[in-house]
Amino acid sequence: MKAAIYCRLSEEDRNKQCTTDDSNSIQNQKAMLLQYAAEMGWEIYRIYSDDDYTGSDRRRPEFVRLLADAEQRKFDIVLCKTQSRFTRELELVEKYIHGLFPIWGIRFVSIVDNADTANKGNKKSRQINGLVNEWYLEDMSENIRSVLTNRRENGFHIGAFALYGYKKDPEQKGHLIIDEEAAAVVREVFTLFASGMGKTAIARLLNDRGIPNPTEYKRLQGLRYKTPKSRNSTLWRYSAISDMLVNEIYIGNMVQGKYGSVSYKTKQNRPRPKAEWYRVEGTHEPIIDRELWDRVQALIAQKTKPWGNGSIGLFARKAICANCGYALRTSKNRGIHYLKCGSRHVAKDACVGSFIQVAKLERLVLDELKRLSAAYLDEDELAQGIEFAGNLQAQKASILAGIANCRKRIEEYAKGTRELYMDKVRGVITEADFAEMSKAFAKDREHFEAQLQTANAQLAELEARIQAGDNRRALVERYVDLDHLTRDVVETLIDHIEVGKRIPGTKNVPIAIHWNF
Contact criterion met (CB below 8 Å) for 65 and 97: no
Measure the CA–CA gap between 82 and 187, rounded to whole angstroms.
52
Query: What is the per-residue pLDDT across 258-302, written as a single tens digit (0 to 9) for each?
Result: 877 755 555 566 778 888 888 999 999 999 999 999 989 988 886
CATH code for the domain of 110: 3.40.50.1390
> 159 and 235: one domain?
yes
Question: What pLDDT sits at residue 254?
Answer: 93
Assess if residue 322 is contained within a domain: no
Strands, DSSP E only, in 277-384? 278-280, 319-321, 329-333, 336-340, 355-357
Contact criterion met (CB below 8 Å) for 501 and 352: yes
Assess if residue 103 is contained within a domain: yes
> 40 and 167: one domain?
no
DSSP assignment string, 447-462: HHHHHHHHHHHHHHHH
> 159 and 293: one domain?
yes
Strands 319-321, 494-499: pairing kind: parallel
> 176 and 295: one domain?
yes
> 205 and 284: one domain?
yes
User: 77, 106, 122: which is the final residue of a domain?
Assistant: 122
> 111 and 207: one domain?
no
Measure the CA–CA gap between 89 and 265, rounded to whole angstroms.
8
Measure the CA–CA gap between 417 and 435, rounded to whole angstroms.
10
User: 274, 304, 334: which is the final residue of a domain?
Assistant: 304
SS3 state at 345: helix
Q: How far is CA 244 from CA 7, 48, 167, 185, 297, in A?
A: 41, 41, 16, 11, 11
> 114 and 224: one domain?
no
Adjacent-strand bridge partners of 514:
496
pLDDT higher than threshold 90 for residue 106: yes
* Residues making up the chain, counted from first to last: 517
Q: Compute the CA torsion angle 334, 340, 343, 345 (nearest 10 deg).
A: -20
Query: What is the per-residue pLDDT across 107-130, written as a single tens digit (0 to 9) for each?
Result: 999 988 888 888 876 666 666 666
Measure the CA–CA gap between 163 and 36, rounded to whole angstroms.
47
Residue (of 187, 138, 137) closest to 166 by Cα position: 187
pTM of the model: 0.48
> 96 and 174: one domain?
no
Residue (of 100, 97, 87) closest to 117 by Cα position: 97
CATH code for the domain of 180: 3.90.1750.20
Query: What is the per-residue pLDDT across 237-255, written as a single tens digit (0 to 9) for each?
Result: 888 999 999 999 999 999 9
Assess if residue 383 is contained within a domain: no
The number of domains in the chain is 3
Higher-confidence position of 174 and 384: 174
Q: In which domain, by residue range, is 178 found?
A: 154-304
Residue by residue, what is the 3-state secondary structure of 132-163?
A: HHHHHHHHHHHHHHHHHHHHHHCCCCCCCCCC
Question: What pLDDT sits at residue 183?
Answer: 95
Query: What is the per-residue pLDDT across 44-93, written as a single tens digit (0 to 9) for each?
Result: 999 999 987 877 778 889 999 999 999 999 999 999 998 888 888 877 88
Question: What pLDDT sits at residue 309?
Answer: 40
The half-sphere exposure of 295 on its side-chain side, counting CA atoms within 13 A, is 12
pLDDT-derived band at 188 (thresholds 50, 70, 90) equals: very high
Assess if residue 285 is contained within a domain: yes
Assess if residue 513 is contained within a domain: no
